[in-house]
Amino acid sequence: MQQPTKVLTVNELADYLRVHRSTIYRLLKKGLLPGFKIGSDWRFNVEIIDEWRMKQGEVILNDDKEIKGN
């Protein structure tokens, strides 16, 4: 039997990413953080957040390579 997908609240995501809640809301406002709303409350799929985190690292590495001219 497949495990249900873990879903986080804003507070749980802030703890998970070790950032302030306002950072989460700022990223949501800019459309930079994958999440979904249930009523007026935001929720976040942990698997999608982990994929997003990995992509953020790739963007930083690629930008760094372009700056160095590699």
Does residue 22 lie in a domain region? yes
Does residue 2 lie in a domain region? no
Does residue 1 lie in a domain region? no
Does residue 35 lie in a domain region? yes
Q: Identify the pLDDT of residue 23.
A: 94
Domain containing 43 equals 7-68
Question: pLDDT per position in the chain (70 positions), as tens?
Answer: 667 779 999 999 999 999 999 999 999 999 999 999 999 999 999 999 999 998 886 655 555 555 555 5
- What CATH number is given to the structural domain containing 19? 1.10.1660
CA distance 37 to 28: 11
* Cα-based distances in Å from 3 to 6, 36, 39, 51: 9, 20, 25, 18
Q: Identify the pLDDT of residue 37.
A: 97
Does residue 37 lie in a domain region? yes
Q: Identify the pLDDT of residue 5.
A: 79
Beta bridge partners of residue 3, listed in sequence order: none
